[in-house]
Amino acid sequence: MKRQNLIALACAGTVVFMTGAAFAAVPLYQLFCQVTGFNGTVMKADKAPDTILDSTILIRFDTNVRDLPMVFRAEQVSQRVRIGETGMAWFDVTNTSDKPIKARAGYNVVPEFTGPYFQKLQCFCFDEQVIEAGQTRKFPIQYFVAPELATDAEAKGATEITLSYTFYPSKDGAPDGTKDPGRS
């Protein structure tokens, strides 16, 4: 009887552990991607680099909306910045409905190997935003492309980076679903 109890306890413990791991997987993966730049995830920086190179790179801005009555667009389709220079881009979001919207924006960059080098100083991403009925709001992103891009053998030939944002619905401060909208 003791052996059966031990096996039942081990099975129950495994189920509890696996359930906890499933709930922790999404935030841990998001944290891992933000820290490493894995899978085209933009990294957060505390300060801009001290070095600005003479070479430039074209930054393109892509905007998407998933299941929301809103218009989301970049004020500029692209910007050319020097590597290491701080850039600033603005995005306009208009709620076209007659009710307030709670939404979040997720992002990624392509080509994916540039993820560790495209770093943001200020961003509206992943914070829940409330856009009132008929309201238009402006959201900034302040960013730079780290000078290390120029010396990375894989990324050295990069001439442009596309930053893609997707606004998606959120409820009670949590995104709907478990999949990061910035990933395919």
Q: What is the pLDDT of residues 57-86, one digit of tens each?
A: 999 999 999 999 999 999 999 999 999 999
CA 38 centroid distance within chain: 11
More confident residue, 104 or 2: 104
| Strand ranges (E), the chain | 43-44, 56-65, 70-74, 78-82, 87-95, 101-110, 118-122, 129-131, 136-145, 160-171, 174-175
| Average pLDDT estimate for 159-180 | 71
To 5 degrees, how large is the angle CA 89–CA 171–CA 142?
15
- Contact present, 108 and 40 (Cβ < 8 Å): yes
Cα 129 to Cα 9: distance, rounded to the nearest angstrom: 44
Express as a percent the part of the chain with pLDDT over 90: 51
Examine the pLDDT at 176 and tell me if it is beyond 70.
Answer: no
Q: What are phi and psi of 126, to 5 degrees?
A: 70, -10
Helix (H, G, I), strand (E, B) or coil at 2: helix
Per-residue pLDDT, averaged over 92-97, amounts to 96
